[in-house]
Amino acid sequence: MEKVKMFLVFVLGTLLSGQVFAKDYLISTPNTSLLLTAEPGQKSMFRYYGSRIETADIQSIYASGCAFGSQSYPVFGISTSNERAMAVIHADGNASLDLVVEAVNQYTEADGDVTAIRMKDNIYPFVLTQFYKAYKGTDVISTWVEVENKGKKSVTLYRFASAYFPVNRGDNWLTHFHGAWGAEHMMVEEKLTNGQKIIADRSGLANSHSSNPSFMLTLDGKPQEEYGHVLGGTLAWSGNYLLKADVKNTWLAISAGINEDMAHYVLDGGKTFVLPEFAMTYSTTGKGGVSRAFHRWARMYKLQHGNVERDILLNSWEGVYFKVNQTGMDEMMQNFSALGGELFVMDDGWFGDKYPRDKGNSSLGDWVVCKKKLPEGIEGLLDSAKKHNVKFGLWIEPEMTNTQSELFEKHPDWVLQVEGRPRSTGRGGTQLVLDLTNPEVQDFVFSVVDGLMTKYPGIAYMKWDDNCSLMDYGSTYLPKNRQSHIYIEYHRGLKNVLERIRAKYPDLVLQACAAGGGRVNYGILPYFDEFWTSDDTDALQRVYMQWGVSNFYPSIAVGAHVSADKNHQTGRVTPLKFRFDVAMSGRLGMEMQPKDMNERDKEFARRAIAAYKHVRPVVQFGDLYRLVSPYDNQGIASLMYVTPEKDRAVFYVYKLENFINMTVPGVRLAGLDPNKHYRIKDLTPAKAQKPCSLDGKVFRGAVLMEEGLGMAGLLKGEYASQVLELQEVD
Ligand code: DGJ
């Protein structure tokens, strides 16, 4: 009797605490499902990830032979062959783990429903919880792992993936994004063959210059925009990462996590180690479906102010570089305001008292205004901004210092350095990286923003730059036997600072920049409003880069600026219309000297800015449909945004090459309502009175999507482009 009573109390307690012991766990979003099996005392198994299924379908998944027989988190030691998600060495030298399920908890958080599978080792006091979160209102499920060392002695983690899962083998293609400074986010697509394909970064601070921690994987052939079954995944980590596709004939598995190379982690007794989230989605509507799911998720949960329209800004960098002064800034604000601009951002060059920042080789860390250049201080600039009716923002690079700076003179121990070796220096031969593993340094970095905001609460925006990678692998703060934590603790320190900034300054708009597009990842973006896509503002190259970055990141976050007619990076000369038409597909801005524009260009810029304001909600919150890829060598690229109600859309087309009698393909539109009628408006005619031939015409959605629009007549000459609005008519 006592036993029965105890059992009932246990069941009731379990139900109330949300802890359940069922075998199958079906985690679903509106269009996707993930199925796990977790039974106490047994291994946790990953069974299915794909289109949404219902509980009644679970048996069919098993009966069909489609269910995977793979552990949801395979560990090293008992079974040693094949890839493992985790490998550790215990204090006694034993290198094995053997985890079985202890319990499963399911609970709801504000942003999603969580399933937590708690596993424990049979011998060692080692507990690992694997989490899955289905984000509300999205088709994104994320997974991550938390490790608890319940013992007294430390255990060293040599491998620690956030996610590990099998994928159906077939004609699998991988889409990923590679590049370098000035050429970030270039798309690469390749068929997966036997062997391991690794996408990794080792730069330490900014992880997306050379490759982005995101990928898509098709299950049924060459990647298509609106057809086919595609899995997309991204690792929410701002440091070194490692994504691996392991293919062995019929077997394909993905593992994703922090790059463990030179980063083994010593977990002391009683401590917990939380690994970053890996977020994934599954689409039956090609890559487009993956992108739209991630865009929505980002705007809802992983970006600051994801539901707020972004201002049109002018950044001073390419206009004046380091030659900042009060009159020049005032003039830029006035001229930009006259074009309809809303926010002025003063870039590098404004600070340094003892050492004025005239070049990229001094003053970082000395975040006081350079009185020689700006005798009226930030106050003077804020006054100018007010006078010209624009908001004001400025540039900082708070994680850095220079050998020539007051900060470094005071705190030489605050930089990452290897004892006994000469310091490595970055930009200008003088730049050093502050040691963010050190809480004192974290306080300093926080105080950079806090100090400026306290003194000048009128600052609306900050561009947070990082122009160095992690060079010297040594910290004077971390103990000698914990130096291998540098890569990880740096980013935890950064996160800690950003959390404090966000808590105190929730309204401040922050741009993530790292020598251009080095910090485009969902580890850092939750603290930022947007990112600087690339230091290369050449409109032609931007078509390719913005296409690449649009695969995982929403337009509202994509800093896209119109720069000088002769581009400063490539030397290419393009018409102002082309430059605007390209920048208008992201978060529009300008990065040039407005006073150098002639009257005709100013008139065009005024119209283009007004047109962008008119369609801004469609561009920044609409669903993206990529129509013709610049990577497909058709000579054009085209994309469009459509409102969820399908009552408005904005269509873009760009000519990428120009030959006599070249074939210019027509473009089929997508995402519209086939039964609605849409009126076309040319948003950026080169001459105000001469819109393109489609202007004013009305088409049924079905016709636009089935037949499309002919482009040959619209795209005449070099760097031709069109931006068209589609508005539903009754
Ligand atoms: C690198 C950034 O990407 C540029 O936009 C500019 O802010 C410079 N740094 C300033 O030094």
Of the candidates 347, 366, 529, 535, the residue annotated as catalytic is 535
- What three-state secondary structure class fits 145? strand
- Three-state SS sequence of 155-199: EEEEEEEEEEEECCCCECEEEEEECCCCCCCEEEEEECCCEEEEE
What whole-number distance in Å separates Cα of residue 656 and Cα of residue 665? 12
Identify the pLDDT of residue 18: 44
In 584-689, DSSP assigns E strands to 587-591, 623-628, 636-642, 648-655, 677-682
Write the residue with the smallest CA distance to atom 2 of ligand 1.
Answer: 515
pLDDT over 70 (residue 3) = no
Identify the pLDDT of residue 651: 98
Q: Is residue 385 part of a domain?
A: yes
Q: Of the given ranges (75-84, 431-440, 547-556, 608-617), which has the lowest mean pLDDT?
A: 75-84
Last residue of a domain, one of 594, 621, 648: 621
In angstroms, how far is the first alpha carbon of the chain from the final one? Answer: 73
Same domain membership, residue 725 and residue 595: no
Last residue of a domain, one of 273, 302, 331: 302
Ligand 1 close to Cβ of residue 417 (< 6 A): no
Ligand 1 close to Cβ of residue 400 (< 6 A): no
DSSP secondary structure code for residue 704 in this structure: H
C-alpha 537 – ligand 1 centre gap (Å): 12
Ligand 1: residue of 208, 361, 467, 530 to mutate (most ligand atoms within 8 A of CB) is 467
Write the residue with the smallest CA distance to atom 9 of ligand 1.
Answer: 515
Ligand 1 close to Cβ of residue 467 (< 6 A): yes
What whole-number distance in Å separates Cα of residue 221 and Cα of residue 170? 8
What whole-number distance in Å separates Cα of residue 425 and Cα of residue 721? 43
- Confidence class of residue 324 from pLDDT cuts 50, 70 and 90? very high
Same domain membership, residue 653 and residue 610: no
Identify the pLDDT of residue 7: 40
Write the residue with the smallest CA distance to atom 11 of ligand 1.
Answer: 348
Identify the pLDDT of residue 22: 55
C-alpha 360 – ligand 1 centre gap (Å): 10
Residues 397 and 430 sit within 8 Å (Cβ to Cβ): no
Ligand 1 close to Cβ of residue 160 (< 6 A): no
CA angle 638, 641, 647 (to 5 degrees): 130
Looking from the CA of residue 395, the nearest atom of ligand 1 is 7
Instruction: Provide the CATH number for the domain around residue 578.
Output: 3.20.20.70
User: Among this protein's residues, is 111 annotated catalytic?
Assistant: no
What whole-number distance in Å separates Cα of residue 139 and Cα of residue 351? 45
646-703 per-position pLDDT tens digit: 999 999 999 999 999 999 999 999 999 999 999 999 999 999 999 999 999 999 999 9
Token pair listed for 501: 């900034």
C-alpha 153 – ligand 1 centre gap (Å): 46
pLDDT over 60 (residue 355) = yes
Q: Which domain does 197 fall in, by range?
A: 19-302
Write the residue with the smallest CA distance to atom 6 of ligand 1.
Answer: 317
pLDDT over 60 (residue 428) = yes
- Confidence class of residue 263 from pLDDT cuts 50, 70 and 90? very high
Instruction: Report, as an integer, the average pLDDT of 510-515.
Output: 98
Looking from the CA of residue 427, the nearest atom of ligand 1 is 11
Q: Which residues contact 13 (CB under 8 A, 6 or more apart)?
A: none
Q: Is residue 307 part of a domain?
A: no
pLDDT over 50 (residue 13) = no
Ligand 1 close to Cβ of residue 513 (< 6 A): yes
**Mean pLDDT taken over the chain:** 96
Same domain membership, residue 271 and residue 188: yes
Same domain membership, residue 396 and residue 270: no
**Which element (helix H / strand E) includes 107?**
strand 99-108
Q: Is residue 490 part of a domain?
A: no
CB atoms within 10 A of CB 404: 18
Same domain membership, residue 207 and residue 276: yes
Looking from the CA of residue 360, the nearest atom of ligand 1 is 11
Ligand 1 close to Cβ of residue 536 (< 6 A): no
User: Among this protein's residues, is 465 annotated catalytic?
Assistant: yes
Last residue of a domain, one of 558, 587, 621: 621
Q: Is residue 539 part of a domain?
A: yes
35-88 per-position pLDDT tens digit: 999 999 999 999 999 999 999 999 999 999 889 999 999 999 998 888 999 999
Q: Is the pTM of this model over 0.85?
A: yes
Q: Which of 460, 571, 469, 572 is nearest to 514 (CA)?
A: 469
Same domain membership, residue 609 and residue 635: no
**Which element (helix H / strand E) includes 346?**
strand 343-346
Looking from the CA of residue 591, the nearest atom of ligand 1 is 5
Looking from the CA of residue 515, the nearest atom of ligand 1 is 3
Same domain membership, residue 296 and residue 159: yes
Residues 179 and 161 sit within 8 Å (Cβ to Cβ): no
Q: Is residue 408 part of a domain?
A: no
C-alpha 200 – ligand 1 centre gap (Å): 25
190-222 per-position pLDDT tens digit: 999 999 999 999 999 999 999 999 999 999 999
Q: Which residues contact 256 (CB under 8 A, 6 or more apart)?
A: 161, 162, 163, 164, 213, 233, 235, 241, 242, 243, 244, 278
Residue type, 226: E
C-alpha 347 – ligand 1 centre gap (Å): 7
Ligand 1 close to Cβ of residue 464 (< 6 A): no
Looking from the CA of residue 514, the nearest atom of ligand 1 is 3
C-alpha 138 – ligand 1 centre gap (Å): 35
C-alpha 532 – ligand 1 centre gap (Å): 9
Ligand 1 close to Cβ of residue 535 (< 6 A): yes
Rg (CA), the chain: 27
Of the candidates 246, 348, 465, 601, the residue annotated as catalytic is 465
Residue % of the chain over a pLDDT of 90: 96
Tell me the C-alpha to C-alpha distance, in Å, between residue 123 and each of 96, 97, 120, 148, 440.
Answer: 10, 9, 9, 14, 39
Burial class (CB in 10 A: 0-12, 13-18, 19+), 9: exposed
C-alpha 99 – ligand 1 centre gap (Å): 48
- Confidence class of residue 5 from pLDDT cuts 50, 70 and 90? very low
C-alpha 584 – ligand 1 centre gap (Å): 21
| Nearest-10 Cα torsion for 404, 407, 413, 416 | -70
Looking from the CA of residue 321, the nearest atom of ligand 1 is 10
Looking from the CA of residue 535, the nearest atom of ligand 1 is 3
pLDDT over 80 (residue 14) = no
pLDDT over 90 (residue 629) = yes
529-577 per-position pLDDT tens digit: 999 999 999 999 999 999 999 999 999 999 999 999 999 999 999 999 9
Instruction: Provide the CATH number for the domain around residue 688.
Output: 2.60.40.1180
pLDDT over 90 (residue 17) = no
Total tally of structural domains belonging to the chain: 3
Q: Is residue 415 part of a domain?
A: no
Same domain membership, residue 522 and residue 568: yes
The structure tokens 């030659």 sit at: 323
Q: Is residue 433 part of a domain?
A: no
Same domain membership, residue 631 and residue 617: no
Instruction: Report, as an integer, the average pLDDT of 431-452.
Output: 98
CB atoms within 10 A of CB 532: 27
Same domain membership, residue 81 and residue 26: yes
Tell me the C-alpha to C-alpha distance, in Å, between residue 81 and each of 74, 76, 162, 252.
Answer: 11, 8, 20, 15
Ligand 1 close to Cβ of residue 395 (< 6 A): yes
pLDDT over 50 (residue 15) = no
- What three-state secondary structure class fits 200? strand
In DSSP terms, 257 is beta-bridged to 161, 242
Ligand 1 close to Cβ of residue 465 (< 6 A): yes
In DSSP terms, 106 is beta-bridged to 115
Identify the pLDDT of residue 81: 84
Q: Are strands 623-628 and 636-642 parallel, antiparallel or unpaired?
A: antiparallel
Q: Which of 670, 680, 679 is nearest to 714 (CA)?
A: 680
Identify the pLDDT of residue 12: 42
Instruction: Provide the CATH number for the domain around residue 175.
Output: 2.70.98.60
C-alpha 328 – ligand 1 centre gap (Å): 19
Q: Is residue 483 part of a domain?
A: no
Same domain membership, residue 170 and residue 276: yes
Q: Which of 175 and 10 is assigned the larger pLDDT? A: 175
Same domain membership, residue 592 and residue 702: no
